[in-house]
Structure 1
Amino acid sequence: MDVAVLGVMIPIIALMIPIVAIWSRHQQKMAEMNAKSTAEMTAEKAAQYTGQIKDLEERVRVLERIVTDRGYDVSTQIEALRDQHRVESEGAGVPLDIARKEKA
């Protein structure tokens, strides 16, 4: 290596050391900020999922209560409601054989 090249390289290396140190601190801070934001987003999602899970658990409790309180005759009750609806709908409407009154 030539003395002139060595004379140029020493100041360049001396200036690069603090630049690399500053850059590495900046990268560390960015990684910490990223970890914090990820943790916050994860906590928010966990809170949302907890609410959804509670809602689903409540629905399951209601369904269990329906099945155990009323027994397994739910399908019979549904069919009874369908039959009742058919009977009510048969009388609805206007009959088509209405005789028209003639003017006297």
Structure 2
Amino acid sequence: MSPENLALLQELAGPIVAITVIGTVGWVATTWLRIKHGYPLEGSWGQAIHPKTDDQAMQRIALLTSENAELQAQLGSIKDRLATVERIVTDSGYQLTAQIEALRDRDGASSVN
């Protein structure tokens, strides 16, 4: 090996090591985030490898699924009730009743004075 090539290799050794370390740390961080959030990993041939879930995670998933179903049912009920209230308020009979009650209140207040 010539002295020029040896000097060039020594100059590039630091950046090569730094790039290798940064790439490895990035890969480890990406893998950790995928495992933490339940995303499948990739095998050497590109196939999806799903991380194993423990019993606690399965119970949490079941609890969240049932809670989600309950909340969706409540939301549907609230939407139905809101539609009913909107229909009552926009009904002309309701407005007429409100006007009659306002007249009664006005007449009742003037007869008291």
TM-score (norm 2): 0.42
Greater Rg by CA: 1
Normalised by the length of structure 1, the TM-score is: 0.45
- Looking at both structures, which has the greater relative contact order when contacts are Cα pairs under 8 Å and sequence separation is at least 6? 2
